[in-house]
Structure 1
């Protein structure tokens, strides 16, 4: 019978910190790398113009910085959060985690192979990560041709269809709905110039 890790150490009664899972740390760190790359590329486009005008690299820098900071904060939380968690919100999160584990165990018992709550095996999850980074790499190559917004929209569409295997119509609606929202807010309302590429569409 396996015993849960005690939340109190034998010395001083302090909460024992749980060692984070390596895949969680690696995955979060890779997101941070993506954010750093976006910041670097955005600075290459120009963050600000003369007379304090927003440059074409403003949006990539802003987005990349957010991803980078959020990833670093999550890595810090993984390493420094204690084993004890309190509060109704965390209790609900722990219950959801237990339900997810129970669903994964049920799937494993039914199929004989360990799967997550989405029915994916470890190999399928690993392939999904490779597909996401491949889509991101292709999107970066498309930016000089199609522009930033269209390249990101194509990336989202490919991820939803190819990686998540969602139906075509909802995937298209989600992708182009996001494009319309970003274009309206950042380009039309805020006046943020974004790289349009050789096509010069949006």
Structure 2
């Protein structure tokens, strides 16, 4: 509950700082996710070295923000990094991570129709592992880092690309999750 209050307060402060006349935007991306979860895979299976564990999957990111035309802004996003599924020695392991993110955004426009951005914020991440019919789940706060690029296609419509990074923790094992996404954004 304490983390939720901090996230809400951070979002309100960022909105106030970005100004009342800021442009709004929303969009969605399909992501290719990479889980750095070999240690978790080894813990839940009998494999002593987990090099054969599946660490890549497809995911989805949905986001909205203010400050689309300015040098700074704030963005909120829901990222489902997808589910990895591994079978090692006849045992299966499914791992899923999803995050709700609130982040500050800094933008630069090297060309008139192209901009790059960097994002720093907090993520409420939830990690779940399923093995042999058992399920373990844990939610916790995490640092969120993101990089992005967008290119205007037509007025108020942009093609976007992003890299999103969060850390997850499950059953004493910490691991990073990175998503590489492509999608579209609409300004309003």
Q: Provide TM-score, normalisation by structure 1.
A: 0.21
Q: Provide TM-score, normalisation by structure 2.
A: 0.22
More helix by share: 1
Larger Rg: 1
More strand by share: 2
Q: Which has the higher contact order (CA 8 A, sep 6+)?
A: 2
